[in-house]
């Protein structure tokens, strides 16, 4: 055991006096005092509601039992957690989705004030006896999918919220300026305050607020902060960081609610942070029904970890990153945008490299008390090489497997230092490391296929493995710079923007542009004297800009320090203005003024589209339909969410696990690759469908209760292999039923657990249907997720594919070109995928179009009027509305 | 290093040590609340299980409620402890003890009360 090295970035946070001076600048906008409660078997039976301001319709929402109204439209109040909610939705993600449904309409946009960030820790959360019991579940309407997203996160906030007296925190509305919410769980007060001076980036902000609200250094263990980061200002992939105080390192640690852009919504509401303080944690605060069951189950797992972890997964030493080399070995490590499943250079980023060179080992590192799995880890005093913190030594919380697979192999970067650098910046900027990696890999492949070029990327050479350029891309994204901002919107937006603005020169412009060089946009030249810049009537719509309140002086001020060197262009004519975002001016081709006037009349050169930065900026290029179709094949997103970092193309079950996922392709619903592809335990469609029913339900259950999935199967009892269904790890499942009974006081079984999850899972399916998705066509994956779409991919597994063609498809591959063979394999796999979808929908009680049947809703007790109304037109259209008198009442 | 040392060959199985221990710390004569354990061997005789202050338990305590003093004795700060019981799972010899009635686990702190009452001379405090 070693004591941790203290990280040397303390002086960047500010002194105690400086931080308290920041606090003195806060203006309190609302305060609220609540009554203390005693938790009854895991529930407080009330929720905390905060609207941070703005006008919107709340008529459909549950009523506030008590409330106070502060300045600027801020409302703080309480709602009841009813028996109905507990019966139908259990808690955690179930409660989140319930409140979100009530808060939004079918057409609610992610940036509408009524969008609701709902955070709930679940009824088992906060117990200290069993590993992985400190999770919060977070939901809102996502900027990338426009659907409800759910994400789980460790850190101390969720348990503290519960111990303070609330099962749920709802954050609604939009504030006028940056605000901070402080919940004092011991003094039972809440305040909403302006927060003008604190940092935005989480590794600084978390420290500042821990210092600001703790009574002493020791008291920092009683503080948890939710924050996002600067990336949430401009990208759609902002995360929420939840802190906990690392007593050995004497610094905050960051755990992430990562998927779907919840941090972007948080910043859109102008919330800078939510801070909670609770002192007095102990194992009985949930008032459990039978503590003995908790103790016994907890100690059983603690002992397994103590005895077998080093022989099994080494979670205590390297956490989830232990599988980087395992995934490579089994052809599952996503490489070069999911083309391949491994790479000869993987040993350079194998787990032992991080263990030996970067990670501080042998430190109990759990994100909530009682986690003997302790899979968190950190690289201490890691020196950064790029960005605003270049040269500083920081604590990097990670790497998780996804960092290695995403920021490493998938973008072709086999340098552990770049992985850790990107890991750090993703966290502190508030960037979803998974989406960022997958969307970057997509941009890289577009670049290397020639679909976009160096001008489009603004000088960033996005070849595989160019770590410097990839980190620069992230800095551009965070700064809201042109191309970085496009990438930061996600693959679905990238595809649209690339199609509209990049690509080939249109025929009508060919003669005009012939022989003229493209402007090469290079690095910003900071030291260059800024030339006099005036609005150029040929390039900017001056009347519009002036009407918007911009004048020459403001433009000048905005481009200082951010001027692009524009080779070959006249300084006074080479810019296109962007309304509202003067962060960067975009270069245009070096064509003369006379020719500029030949641009389409009436096309202003400012953006009328908030999603993009140079709408209409280059009307002479557009992608061809073939190029657009090409992007669809390898853009690894579904429902607008980027795929997580496992190569799924050789496992049919996992292809379904991803594509049928309610929120988009994240493996937290099902990870069936080993069962399917390696161990061949689920050979038939029915077997796969059963697995794609049971495992998503079981994993949903973790999210209802406030539990982490890892202690379920990242350690296994030594006798597990002798179980009838070893993939389920029955002994650990029984542990969960024990702790459920221990807290709630009710016996649980596989059957009752599955129904509990089905209620929420089915609800979520109907929720996405309500929001415009949730039909079969929306579950269609990109072609690459099903198999090889290029010659290179085919050749990488030629022997396997040839054998498959001959033995399974019944076609002799001899004499066929690779292109022909790709077509044959892919046609077969699309057919297999469709058959799988049929089988899974059937098992889940859905129609062939993916709509939950009325009979299923009745069976699981979810025949709630709003749900029936949502599915009814679809069921009728498809011919699945049941006949019979017993159903007549549902047709009213 | 101060610690309690046991010579099981001298143990008569009277259980006095367990009673003294539980009484001293929890005011009850209950061997389940005793830090020292006396186990009857199947082949006859008794085995005394006592903490040797190895300190493995303290290494996994994330809130640092377990600390090893200069005299080598590992003590639990009950005010800091959150009752997670990781230390119980971590002890290879099951000598970090717990009881469902109690909010925190407990262990031998080499106080020597049991040794003083042991009539057979099986227990002693050593300081080396």
Find chain B residues with C-beta within 8 A of A287's C-beta.
none
Find chain B residues with C-beta within 8 A of A282's C-beta.
81-83, 103-104
To the nearest whole angstrom, how far is the Cα of B119 from the nearest Cα of chain A?
35
d(CA A281, CA A274): 20
- Cβ proximity of A292 and A130 under 8 Å: no
To the nearest whole angstrom, how far is the Cα of A711 from the nearest Cα of chain B?
14
Find chain B residues with C-beta within 8 A of A285's C-beta.
none
| Cross-strand partners of A340 | A335
- Give the mutation candidate from A159, A281, A284, A297 for the B interface (greatest B CB count, under 10 A): A281
The model's pLDDT over B74-97, given as tens digits with 9 standing for 90+, comes to 999 999 999 999 999 999 999 999
Q: Which residues of A726-758 are buried (b: 16+ CB within 10 A; e: fewer)?
A: bbbbeebbebbbbbbbbbbeeebeeeebbebbb
Contact A303 B89 (CB under 8 A): yes
Q: Helix, strand, coil proportions of chain A in percent (round to 5)?
A: 45, 15, 45
Strands (E), A71-195: 75-80, 117-120, 136-141, 148-153, 168-172, 179-184, 189-194
The model's pLDDT over A838-856, given as tens digits with 9 standing for 90+, comes to 999 999 999 999 999 999 9
The reply to whether A250 touches chain B by the CB within 8 Å rule is no
- Cβ proximity of A313 and A622 under 8 Å: no
d(CA B115, CA B124): 5
Contact B88 A302 (CB under 8 A): yes
Name the nearest CA neighbour of A27 among A194, A156, A213. A194
ipTM, two decimals, is: 0.97
Q: Which domains are present in chain A?
A: 10-277 (3.60.9.10), 309-495 (1.10.569.10), 516-617 (no CATH), 684-715+749-891 (1.10.599)
B63 half-sphere exposure, CB direction, 13 A CA radius: 28
Which residue range forms the structural domain that includes residue B119?
2-127
The reply to whether A282 touches chain B by the CB within 8 Å rule is yes
The reply to whether A365 touches chain B by the CB within 8 Å rule is yes
Tokens of A650: 């050789």
Those residues whose C-beta lies under 8 Å from the C-beta of residue A414, and which sit 6 or more positions away, are A343, A345, A346, A348, A349, A408, A465
Burial classification of residue A565, based on how many CB atoms lie within 10 Å of its CB (0-12 exposed, 13-18 middle, 19 or more buried): middle
- State how far Cα A427 lies from the chain centre: 12
H-run or E-run covering A291: helix A291-308
- Which CATH number do you get for residue B7? 3.30.70.20
Long-range pairs for A34-37 at CB < 8 Å and ≥24 separation? Answer: A34/A66, A34/A78, A34/A165, A34/A188, A34/A189, A34/A190, A35/A165, A35/A188, A36/A165, A36/A188, A37/A165
Long-range pairs for A376-381 at CB < 8 Å and ≥24 separation? Answer: A376/A154, A376/A253, A376/A255, A376/A319, A377/A317, A377/A318, A377/A319, A377/A321, A378/A246, A378/A249, A378/A253, A379/A354, A379/A420, A380/A4, A380/A5, A380/A7, A380/A249, A381/A5, A381/A7, A381/A8
Question: Sheet harboring A66-69: ordered strands across?
Answer: A66-69, A75-80, A46-51, A168-172, A117-120, A136-141, A148-153
State the sign of the Cα–Cα–Cα–Cα dihedral A680, A682, A684, A685.
negative
d(CA A699, CA A671): 10
Quick one: pLDDT at residue A517?
Answer: 34
- State how far Cα A808 lies from the chain centre: 38
d(CA A590, CA A519): 6
d(CA A890, CA A873): 12
Tokens of A305: 């970890």
Task: Please report the residues numbered 262 through 281 in chain A whose beta carbons come closer than 8 angstroms to any beta carbon of chain B.
Answer: 281
* Helix (H) and strand (E) counts in chain B: 4, 6
Residues on B contacting A at a C-beta cutoff of 8 Å: 59-64, 81-86, 88-90, 92, 98, 100, 103-104
To the nearest whole angstrom, how far is the Cα of A351 from the nearest Cα of chain B?
22
- Give the mutation candidate from A2, A294, A299, A739 for the B interface (greatest B CB count, under 10 A): A299
Say which of A284, A306, A366 has its CB closest to residue B89.
A306
What does the radius of gyration of chain B's CA atoms come to, in whole angstroms?
Answer: 14
To the nearest whole angstrom, how far is the Cα of A706 from the nearest Cα of chain B?
17
- Cβ proximity of A711 and A154 under 8 Å: no
Those residues whose C-beta lies under 8 Å from the C-beta of residue A746, and which sit 6 or more positions away, are A740
d(CA A725, CA A694): 12
Quick one: pLDDT at residue A403?
Answer: 92
Tell me which chain A residue has its CA closest to the CA of residue B105. A295
Task: Please report the residues numbered 113 through 132 in chain A whose beta carbons come closer than 8 angstroms to any beta carbon of chain B.
Answer: 128-129
- Cβ proximity of A13 and A19 under 8 Å: yes
Pick out chain A residues at pLDDT < 50. 1-4, 515-542, 544-545, 554-617
Q: What angle do CA A45, A870, A82 make, to 5 degrees?
A: 10
Find chain A residues with C-beta within 8 A of B63's C-beta.
221, 247, 369
Cis amide linkage into residue A461, ω under 30° from 0: no
**Based on the structure, what is the number of domains in chain B?**
1
d(CA B51, CA B21): 13
Quick one: pLDDT at residue A318?
Answer: 85
């Amino acid at each position: 055991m070693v004591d941790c090295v203290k990280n040397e970035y303390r002086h960047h946070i500010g002194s105690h006096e400086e931080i308290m001076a920041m606090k003195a600048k806060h203006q309190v906008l609302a305060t609220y005092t609540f009554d203390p409660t005693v938790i009854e078997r895991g529930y407080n039976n009330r929720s905390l509601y905060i609207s941070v301001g703005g006008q919107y319709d709340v008529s459909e929402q549950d009523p506030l039992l008590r409330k106070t109204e502060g300045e600027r439209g801020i409302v703080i109040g309480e709602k009841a957690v009813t028996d109905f909610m507990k019966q139908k939705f259990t808690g955690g993600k179930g409660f989140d989705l319930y409140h979100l449904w009530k808060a939004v309409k079918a057409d609610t946009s992610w940036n509408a004030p009524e969008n609701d960030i709902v955070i709930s820790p679940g009824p088992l959360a906060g117990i200290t006896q069993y590993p992985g019991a400190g999770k919060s579940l977070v939901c809102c309407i996502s900027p990338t999918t426009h659907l409800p997203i759910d994400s789980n996160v460790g850190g101390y906030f969720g348990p503290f919220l519960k111990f303070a007296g609330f099962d749920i925190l709802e954050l609604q509305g939009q504030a006028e300026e940056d605000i901070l919410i402080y919940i004092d769980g011991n003094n039972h007060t809440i305040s909403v305050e302006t927060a003008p001076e604190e940092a935005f980036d989480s590794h600084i902000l978390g420290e500042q607020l821990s210092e600001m609200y703790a009574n002493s250094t020791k008291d920092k263990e009683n503080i948890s902060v939710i924050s996002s980061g600067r990336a949430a200002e401009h990208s759609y992939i902002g995360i929420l960081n939840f802190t906990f105080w690392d007593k050995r390192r004497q610094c905050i640690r960051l755990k992430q609610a990562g998927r779907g852009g919840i941090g972007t919504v948080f910043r859109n509401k102008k919330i800078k942070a939510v801070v909670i303080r609770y002192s007095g944690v102990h194992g009985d605060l949930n008032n459990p029904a039978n503590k003995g069951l908790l103790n016994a189950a907890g100690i059983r797992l603690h002992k397994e970890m103590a005895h077998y972890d080093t022989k099994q997964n080494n979670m205590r030493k390297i956490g989830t990153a232990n599988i980087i080399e395992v995934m490579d070995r089994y052809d599952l490590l996503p490489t070069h945008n999911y083309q391949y499943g491994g790479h000869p250079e993987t040993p350079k980023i194998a787990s032992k490299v991080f263990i030996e060179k970067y990670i501080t080992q042998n430190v109990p590192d759990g994100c909530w008390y009682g986690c003997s799995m302790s899979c968190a880890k950190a690289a201490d005093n890691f020196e950064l090489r790029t960005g605003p913190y270049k040269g500083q030594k920081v604590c990097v919380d990670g790497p998780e497997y996804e960092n290695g697979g995403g920021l490493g192999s998938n973008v072709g970067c086999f340098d552990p230092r770049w992985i850790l650098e990107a890991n750090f910046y993703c966290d502190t900027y508030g960037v979803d490391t998974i989406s960022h990696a997958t969307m970057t890999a997509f941009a890289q492949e577009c670049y290397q296929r020639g679909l976009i070029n160096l001008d489009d990327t603004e000088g960033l050479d996005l070849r595989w493995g160019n770590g410097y350029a990839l980190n620069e891309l992230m800095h551009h994204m965070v700064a809201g710079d042109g191309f970085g901002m496009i990438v930061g919107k996600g693959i679905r937006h990238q595809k649209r923007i690339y199609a509209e603005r990049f690509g080939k020169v249109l025929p009508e412009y060919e003669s005009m542009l012939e022989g003229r060089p493209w402007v090469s946009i290079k690095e910003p030249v900071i030291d260059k004297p800024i030339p006099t810049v005036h609005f150029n009537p040929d390039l900017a719509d001056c009347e519009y800009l002036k009407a918007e309140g911009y004048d020459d002086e403001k433009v000048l001020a905005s481009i200082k320090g951010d001027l692009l060197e524009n080779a070959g262009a006249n300084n006074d004519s080479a810019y296109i203005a962007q309304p509202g975002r003067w962060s960067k001016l975009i270069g245009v081709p070096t064509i003369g003024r006379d020719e500029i006037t030949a641009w389409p009349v009436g096309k202003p050169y400012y953006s009328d589209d908030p999603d993009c930065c140079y709408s209409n900026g280059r009307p002479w290029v557009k992608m061809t339909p073939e190029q657009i179709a090409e992007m669809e094949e390898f853009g690894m997103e579904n429902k607008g969410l980027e795929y997580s970092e496992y190569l799924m193309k050789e496992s049919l079950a996992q292809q379904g696990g991803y594509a049928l996922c309610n929120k988009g392709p994240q493996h937290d619903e099902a990870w069936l690759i080993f069962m399917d592809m390696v161990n061949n335990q689920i050979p038939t469609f029915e077997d796969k469908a059963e697995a794609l029913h049971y495992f998503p339900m079981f994993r949903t259950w973790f999210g209802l209760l406030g539990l982490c999935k890892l202690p379920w199967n990242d350690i296994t009892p030594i006798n597990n292999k002798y179980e009838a269904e070893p993939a389920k790890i029955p002994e650990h499942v029984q542990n969960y039923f024990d702790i459920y009974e221990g807290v709630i006081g009710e016996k649980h079984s596989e059957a009752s657990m599955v129904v509990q999850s089905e209620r929420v899972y089915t609800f979520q399916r109907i929720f996405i249907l309500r929001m415009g998705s949730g039909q079969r066509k929306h579950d269609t994956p990109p072609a690459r997720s099903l198999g090889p779409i290029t010659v290179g991919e085919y050749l990488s597994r030629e022997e396997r594919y040839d054998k498959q063609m001959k033995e399974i498809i019944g076609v002799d591959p001899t004499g066929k070109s690779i292109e022909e063979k790709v077509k044959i394999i892919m046609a077969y796999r699309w057919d297999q995928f469709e058959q799988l979808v049929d089988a899974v929908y059937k098992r889940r009680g859905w129609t062939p179009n993916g709509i939950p049947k009325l009979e299923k809703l009745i069976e699981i007790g979810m025949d709630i009027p709003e749900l029936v109304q949502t599915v009814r037109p679809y069921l009728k259209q498809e011919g699945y509305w049941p006949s019979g008198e017993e159903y007549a009442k549902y047709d009213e | 290093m101060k610690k309690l040392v046991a010579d099981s060959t001298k143990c008569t199985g009277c259980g006095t040590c367990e009673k003294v221990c539980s009484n001293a710390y929890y005011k009850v004569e209950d061997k389940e609340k005793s830090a020292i354990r006396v186990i009857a061997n199947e082949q006859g005789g008794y085995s005394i299980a006592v903490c040797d202050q190895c300190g493995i338990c303290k290494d996994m305590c994330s809130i640092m409620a377990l600390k090893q003093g200069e005299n080598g004795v590992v003590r639990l700060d009950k005010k800091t402890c959150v009752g997670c019981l990781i230390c119980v799972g971590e002890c290879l010899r099951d000598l970090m003890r717990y009881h469902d009635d109690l909010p925190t686990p407990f262990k031998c702190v080499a106080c020597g009360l049991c040794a003083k009452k042991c009539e057979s001379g099986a227990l002693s405090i050593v300081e080396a």
